[in-house]
Amino acid sequence: MMRRALLGTAAALALAAPAFAQDFTITNATVATGDGSEPVENATVVVRDGRVVAAGTGVSAPAGAEVIDGTGKWVTPGIFSAVTDLGLSDVDGVSESNDEAAGNSPFSAALDASRALNPNSQDVLVARADGITRASVYSRPSASIFGGQGAVIDLGADPEMVTRTRAFQVVDLGETGARISGGSRTSAHALLRNALREAQQYGDRAAIGAATARPSETRFGDDVPLDPRLDGRDGERAGDVLLTRFDAAALVPVVRGEQPLYVVAERAADIREVLKLKRDFPRLDLILLGASEGWLAADAIAAAGVPVIADPLDDLPTGFDQLAATQSNIGRMRDAGVTVAIGRMSGGTGEQPRNARQYAGNLVALTRLPGATGLTWGEALATITSIPAQIAGFGGRLGTLASGATADLVIWDGDPLEVGSAAEAVFIDGIRQPTDNHQTRLRERYRDLDESDLPKAYDW
């Protein structure tokens, strides 16, 4: 009965296609705020002007706003998919449609993922229907150890996906980076250090002042100032440079610590080398990607204050750089005091972004296995909501139901970390989102196989 009412609302809203935030209150739901705390039953969530006003028990519904009965439902922040490919391809295996890596590009660090985003990609639509509301996306290192500049995006049904462009830079210092760079980790490190030196010198000569370099805490959007040389002026530099001026300019905010540097590394030894970068480049804002052997270097990672975006369930020695991979990795790093998010889920196979919920649930399952280290339910939800948002630079504003946070939230038909549960209503910026896509249309067409009147092609 409840479900019918909700679906009815959804259909009406989808038809109306609202481009504005609604004021509404969800009552009697099981609510988890995403901050690591456990879910609370019989709670209320109040949304006004696209922001969360309050979430919890003892919250009263303001008069006049729409009330959604959440009895039997769960409410959480929208899922934040950290370091994914959403919007960068239509079909992974169809190279014409795929902008996930620029394998033949003459540029590297200057590549800007925000230029290639397609909000109509079915991957985006499918992820949105499953409650993914924000993501950080990047171009995978391919021709160079640098992947380029990643973006923070929303998955809302509107033309503008970008929440923050040039939000981070990506470099691979693992096995892949070593092969790309010339066949050895030695080369990858030399390339990176040379690039950062060049950027440092280039930045010293930059026309932009330091005062403008720090993004405003409250601004969304294009926060990292644009080096004027990205416009094509002032291309002169001293000899002995490897980077194009675009690439060098793109790395200026990295070496200044104004733009985070996401570093791919799995092996414990590789992780320790990454942490040492801070000795030579103390302003680097490092974030580790992968870190399958992070548990072997967890104390060092914690001491360095470097957050990790981890592959959640790796437990096989896929390469010699992750011989010690275990599903307990994230729990052990958490125990050591490391800030850990789940990430790098992409494509359409087992690690497709919508399965992040399932993977987080698996981390909870570990708490019931002797010898394994898992996460509490609240912690597991945080790895796919507040923590990735915080790492992306949006702590307290995205991935949480804290007062004042952007109203990205999902009403689920049950425990969102359980494999049988699904999103019933998805809000981004307080706007109820359509959840139809290629898959739902196929499902409706093939509910039955009856073609007694007309071919299936007429069933739409």
Partner 1 sequence: MLVRSLATFGCAIALGACSTMGGGDASRSAASSPSSASAADGPYASTYERFPGRPTALVGATVYDGAGQRFDNATVLFRDGEVVEVGQGLATDGYDVIDGTGKFVTPGVIDIHSHLGDYPTPSVQAHSDGNEATSPTTPEVWAEHSVWPQDPGFSRALANGGVTALQILPGSANLTGGRSVTLKNVASRTVQGMKFPGAPYGMKMACGENPKRVYGGRGRMPSTRMGNFAVNRQMWLDAKAYAAGNRSRRDLAKETLAGVLDGDILIHNHCYRADEMALVMDMAKEMGYKVTAFHHAVEAYKIGDLLRENDVCSAVWADWYGFKMESYDGIPENASLLWKAGACVVIHSDDENGIQRLNQEAAKAQAAGRRMGLDIPDAEVIGWITLNPARAMGIDAMTGSLEPGKMADVVLWNGDPLSVYSRPEKVWIDGALLYDALDRKRRPVSDFELGQPGEGDVK
Binding site for partner 1 (CB under 8 A): 90-94, 122-123, 126, 268, 293, 296, 313, 315-320, 323-328, 347-352, 354-355, 358, 361-362, 364-366, 368-372, 413, 417-422, 438-439, 442-443, 446-447, 449, 456
Q: Which is nearer to partner 1, 112 or 130 (CB)?
A: 130
CB 151 within 8 A of CB 142: no
Tally of helices (H runs) and strands (E runs) in the chain? 12, 16
Least distance from partner 1 to the Cβ atom of residue 405, Å: 27
* Phi, psi values for residue 444, rounded to 5°: -70, -40
Least distance from partner 1 to the Cβ atom of residue 316, Å: 5
Where are the alpha helices (H) located in 315-382, listed in sequence order? Answer: 329-336, 356-365, 377-382
Q: Which is nearer to partner 1, 5 or 419 (CB)?
A: 419
Query: Which of 328, 170, 325 has the alpha carbon at shortest distance from 260?
Result: 170
What is the rounded CA–CA span in Å between residue 34 and residue 31?
9
Least distance from partner 1 to the Cβ atom of residue 352, Å: 7
What is the rounded CA–CA span in Å between residue 283 and residue 179?
27
Query: Which of 28, 49, 32 has the alpha carbon at shortest distance from 429?
Result: 49
* Phi, psi values for residue 403, rounded to 5°: -60, 130
Least distance from partner 1 to the Cβ atom of residue 272, Å: 14
Least distance from partner 1 to the Cβ atom of residue 380, Å: 10
Least distance from partner 1 to the Cβ atom of residue 170, Å: 22
Q: Which is nearer to partner 1, 54 or 313 (CB)?
A: 313
Q: Which is nearer to partner 1, 245 or 357 (CB)?
A: 357
Q: Which is nearer to partner 1, 17 or 369 (CB)?
A: 369
What is the rounded CA–CA span in Å between residue 459 and residue 123?
24
Span between the terminal Cα atoms of the chain, in Å: 27
Q: At what angle do helices 268-280 and 185-204 cross, to 10 degrees?
A: 20
Q: Which is nearer to partner 1, 218 or 349 (CB)?
A: 349
Least distance from partner 1 to the Cβ atom of residue 164, Å: 27
Q: Whose structure tokens read 């209320």?
A: 44
Q: Which is nearer to partner 1, 76 or 327 (CB)?
A: 327
Where are the alpha helices (H) located in 154-184, listed in sequence order? Answer: 175-181
Q: Which is nearer to partner 1, 61 or 422 (CB)?
A: 422
Least distance from partner 1 to the Cβ atom of residue 425, Å: 14
Least distance from partner 1 to the Cβ atom of residue 328, Å: 6
CB 408 within 8 A of CB 393: no
What is the rounded CA–CA span in Å between residue 409 and residue 401?
8
- What is the Cβ-side half-sphere exposure of residue 156, based on CA atoms within 13 angstroms? 25
Q: Which is nearer to partner 1, 128 or 164 (CB)?
A: 128
Residues forming beta bridges with residue 310, ordered by sequence position:
290, 342
